[in-house]
Each structure stands twice: as C-alpha cells, then as structure tokens.
Amino acid sequence: MNSLWELYVSFFKIGAVTFGGGYAMLPIIQKEIIEKKGWVSNEDVVDYYAVGQCLPGVIAVNTALFIGNKIKGKQGGIAAALGVATPSILIITVIAAFIQNFLEYPMVQYAFYGIRVVVCALITQALLKLWKTAIKDIFGITVYLAVLVLALFVKVPTVLLVILALAAGLVAHSLQGKKEGANQ
C-alpha cells in the first residue's frame, strides 16, 4: 500500500530534479511513477497533463495533485502536490538570495544553457513515449496536427485548444456510435 509519505518523497524527488517546468517532469514521472511504482498509466498522465494545463497554477503541481488523488484520495493529492512544490520553494528561496551575484559569470550562463538543452532532449523523449499511447489512429493524428498548427501559427490559447480537442473527441464518439447503430 502506498503511504502518504512515500507519495510525498517520490514527488519531492521529481520536483528536486525537474528543471524547465512541468513538461520537463514528464520523463521523470514516466520512470518513477509509471514504470518503477506502477501507480498510474501513460494514458492517465496524458489526461492529467491536458487538464493540468487548462487550470490555473503550475502544471507540475496540478499533475502531481491528480496523480496523488488517484493513488490515495484527497490526502494523496495534497501530499504529492506538496512533495513536488517543496524543492522549488527551497531552491528559489536560496537562489533569490544570491542570484544577482552570479548571473554575470559566463560559467553560470553556460550552465543554464546546458540545462535548457538537456531539458529539451528529455521532453522530446517523453513526448515520443506518450505519442504511442495518445495517438492511436487517423483521428488522433488529425486532432494532433490541427492543434499543433493552431498552437504554433494562430496562437490559440491552450484552454481553447483542449476544449476544441475535447469537442472533437465527443463528436467522433457520437459519430462512431451512430455508425455502429446503423451497421446493426
């Protein structure tokens, strides 16, 4: 049985090594929460990320809250959310006290550049893994491409993209039901 402490510690570890925002935690969630612990599925994480993006607040905290809630209810959600947020709070507090003294140094600038590059690679790896469970047919590819175009070129807000994709999924389900009814 998963304890609240185990949830907190797992998400603390995720929060401690997640540089680059909520998307950067995808590969770590896949390894720690999906593969190692088996607490949720890839499909769950995709769903939680989608909803977490639409809600106010930090994607990492929102996603942790959803996962923790699935595992141990409301208390689990709180434990996971606190776990993922605690390292950031501690690190930001320390950095805020000293950052102005170090930002000018080229070594620090190069270190941040290196971290950003690694985060991009890890996000790409996570997206490729999630692709296998999220995009299963021509409908998924069509919705993916439409949302990608709208996000990149039209700059449609994320919440609207999720609502449009949700509506497309409901319409497709309705049409599939009518098609199956007609075939019987």
| Residues 6+ away with beta carbon under 8 Å from 7 | 68, 71, 72, 76, 79, 80, 83
pTM for the structure as a whole:
0.62
Examine the pLDDT at 78 and tell me if it is beyond 90.
yes
Q: Assess whether 66 and 145 both reside in one domain.
A: no
Residues shown for the chain? 184
- pLDDT, residue 75, reads 96
68 pLDDT above the threshold of 80 = yes
**What does the pLDDT look like over 1-55, one tens digit per residue?**
469 999 999 999 999 887 766 777 888 888 889 999 999 998 898 888 888 877 7
Buried b (16+ CB within 10 A) or exposed e, 112-133: eeeeeeebeebbeebeebbeee
What span, in angstroms and rounded, lies between the C-alpha atoms of 16 and 143?
34
Say if residue 77 is in the same domain as residue 150.
no
Same domain flag for 98 and 166 = no
Q: How many CB atoms lie within 10 A of CB 69?
A: 18
Residues 101, 149: one domain? no
Residues 147 and 116 grouped into a single domain: no
Residue 62 has a CB neighbour count (10 Å cut-off) of: 22
Which of 133, 156, 176 lies at the terminal end of a domain, its last residue? Answer: 133
Res 92 pLDDT > 90: no
In this structure, are 24 and 113 located in the same domain?
yes
Are both 58 and 122 inside the same structural domain? yes
- pLDDT exceeding 90 applies to what percent of the chain? 38
- How many independent structural domains does the chain possess? 2
pLDDT in tens, 28-43: 888 889 999 999 998 8
Specify whether 181 is located in the same domain as 157.
Answer: yes
Do residues 58 and 145 share a domain?
no
Rounded distance between C-alpha atoms, residue 85 and residue 157, angstroms: 25
Residue-number span of the structural domain to which 80 is assigned: 4-133
93 in the same domain as 57: yes
Q: Are residues 45 and 93 in the same domain?
A: yes
DSSP symbols for 144-164? HHHHHHIIIII---HHHHHHH
Residues 90 and 148 in one domain: no
Average pLDDT, the chain: 87
Contact 29, 63 (CB under 8 A): yes
